[in-house]
Amino acid sequence: MQTKVLKTILITLLFLQLKGSYSQNELDSVDYYLERSEYDISALFYQKWLENNPPGTEKYTDVIMSYAINLKLQNNYAESMRLYLEIKNGRYGDLNRRQELSLAVGLGELYRAVEKIDLSLKELKRVNISQADLRKYPEKCSQIFHRLAAAFNQKGILDSAVYYSHRSMALSKKYGYDNHMSINFNEIANIFEKNQMMDSAIYYYDQACHFWKEKGDKRLFSNAYFNRARVAFHEGKVDSALYMFLDNLEFIKDKDWPGVKGPIYHYLTQIYYSKGDSLNGLKYENENLRSSISDQRKRQDRDLLELEAKYKTKEKDRELRYHQREIEQKEQEIDERNERLFFLFMSLLLAVVMILMVAVFAIRFRSSNTHLRKLLKENQFLLAESNHRIKNNLQLITSLIMQETDKYSGNDRKILLELSNKIEAISMLHKQIYLEESKDEIDLKTYFLGIKENYETFCKEQNVACELDMEEISIGIDKSLYLGLLLSELISNSLKHAFENTEHPMIKLQTAEENEKVKLIYSDNGSGLKGETPTLVELMCLQLKGKFSMECEEGFKLTLTIKK
């Protein structure tokens, strides 16, 4: 861990020394670190190249598309999706046919990674491969066919998965794309296994084993070899399976891969117990238990990092409260000392004899006031820095949550995304406080626009228009926090529940200020409320001590009026 951090620091220092244009050197460095799977460092060189080159060229679009792939490999799906959609929408210029095919591969695979299979198939089919494409861009076509096979396999439509696997395989064989061939071996073997066509599955698993062993990739070889042994076990070829499992363990004995070794131990336990060899059965059962414990420790390490981040956030909160109290005390001291100075100067009229003494006293107090003002400025800086640190820590928590979303699906994943957006709303508030000169109030319009941008991707996915008609209103920090969480909850509810059968879905938000009061009107043209009033929305309205009403005759409408 420390070595990796030091390496990143050294690369960053190297960037600061770069003068002029070293574009090709930067791309060579990208290839160097990509070959070693050091995606975080290669990302730094991507960023430097993009900074030093103007957009609008074919090469710029190619590099930014490669950067999007790099972000996906780091599990930064949100930023990768943002770049892909910007490319698709023409922000970096028109795409040629090769780039259109590359975009379909990247965006289709990204949708598949986040388990949006229908969107993945839509993107992959959208390019509509022609005979000219097959002749001119065979490698891209092979990738699209394989991604289609993977998506259909994941969706359970095995006939289509087999069809596209064979098409990808044919192109790979014709043009000698070895890496594509190896990926196809595993994919098509898995499809045949699901279809109970074991002879074909075994053949392709064997092909994958042979390829990865020659390439020297132990992890991918071990995975293919495990699949081969597993098929033999389920066919009743226990002795063959036993040999392959043991051989696989010997091959990766020097690797700390509990996630790879654990399933092998599990099958060896079953085999030895079925043979009546309790000693070896118990041995591998214990090994499996150790492997499970090792996995649990790694998860605990990850959980500890998350807890540490939360703890640091709480520490910053305490530090912020301390500095706020310190600022109040210093301001009170300044007021008190200024009052004393006033009385001292007034006393000059009564005692000329005291002029010299009062002058010395005044000079001393002025010096002290200068020092206090300096402390006040320092504390104001620390307050701003505390808000900045809190914002960074909240973004760290958001990143940790986003890294976990690919492990879940369905409702669990939606809950994580909603939690991430709520935390992002709080983070955005602290960013706004940091940017504002006054630390007591923020601009509500800027804050709401930031929250809306958080949901931009989700709105585009559901074709939801989002209109904002807002005045520039300054409002206190405490109320702005609840307003931000309320807006986040309302948009989230609309996207989840409102537009299932709506032809032109739309969300509107209006804010206005009148007589020291802020009026907020939120509405959508969805299906309206189906049951009880949203509890969380009602609680936040009550917390704001405002007057509110909800209507659901034609969609949903919330009207809220609060004091500034």
Give me the residues paired with residue 518 across strands: 513, 562
- Give, in order, the Cα–Cα distances in Å from 326 to each of 79, 323, 331, 335, 437: 40, 5, 9, 14, 19
Beta carbons within 10 angstroms of residue 445's beta carbon: 15
- The single-letter DSSP state of residue 350 is T
pTM: 0.42
- pLDDT per residue as tens digits for the range 79-123: 999 999 999 999 888 999 999 999 999 999 889 888 899 999 999
* Alpha-carbon span 441 to 478, nearest angstrom: 9
Whether pLDDT at 213 is above 70: yes
* For range 170-176, the mean pLDDT: 85
Span between the terminal Cα atoms of the chain, in Å? 49
Measured at the CA of 257, the angle between CA 398 and CA 301, to 5 degrees, comes to 35
Ordered strands of the 556-563 beta sheet: 465-470, 506-514, 517-524, 556-563, 547-551
For residue 209, what pLDDT is reported? 86
Residue type, 43: A
- Mean pLDDT, rounded, of the chain: 80
Q: Which residue has the tokens 């064989």?
A: 173
For residue 547, what pLDDT is reported? 92
Residue 61 burial (10 A CB sphere; 0-12, 13-18, 19+): buried
Whether pLDDT at 233 is above 80: yes
* Alpha-carbon span 337 to 393, nearest angstrom: 39
* Alpha-carbon span 70 to 30, nearest angstrom: 10
Q: What is the band of 12 on the pLDDT scale with cuts at 50, 70, 90?
A: very low
Helix (H) or strand (E) holding 315: helix 278-347
Q: Could you tell me where the DSSP H helices lie in 406-463?
A: 410-435, 444-454, 456-461
- pLDDT per residue as tens digits for the range 463-486: 999 999 988 898 888 888 889 889
Q: What is the band of 17 on the pLDDT scale with cuts at 50, 70, 90?
A: very low
- Can you give the length of the chain in residues? 564
Closest residue by Cα to residue 204 from 154, 162, 241, 252:
162
Closest residue by Cα to residue 153 from 178, 184, 181:
184
What is the SS3 assignment for 179? Answer: helix
DSSP 72-116: HHTT-HHHHHHHHHHHHTTTT----HHHHHHHHHHHHHHHHHTT-
Whether pLDDT at 262 is above 70: yes
The answer to which of 45-49, 83-87, 170-174, 289-293 has the lowest mean pLDDT is 289-293
Measured at the CA of 30, the angle between CA 50 and CA 252, to 5 degrees, comes to 145
Q: Could you tell me where the DSSP H helices lie in 156-197?
A: 158-175, 178-194
* Alpha-carbon span 187 to 163, nearest angstrom: 12
> Is the torsion defined by CA of 254, 258, 259, 263 positive or negative?
positive
Whether pLDDT at 294 is above 90: no
Helix (H) or strand (E) holding 442: strand 441-443
Averaging pLDDT over each range in 4-18, 43-57, 127-141, 188-202, which range is the top one?
127-141
Domains of the chain: 441-564 (3.30.565.10)
- The single-letter DSSP state of residue 526 is S
- Give, in order, the Cα–Cα distances in Å from 319 to each of 94, 314, 438: 51, 9, 19
DSSP 213-261: HHHT-HHHHHHHHHHHHHHHHHTT-HHHHHHHHHHHHHHTTTS--HHHH
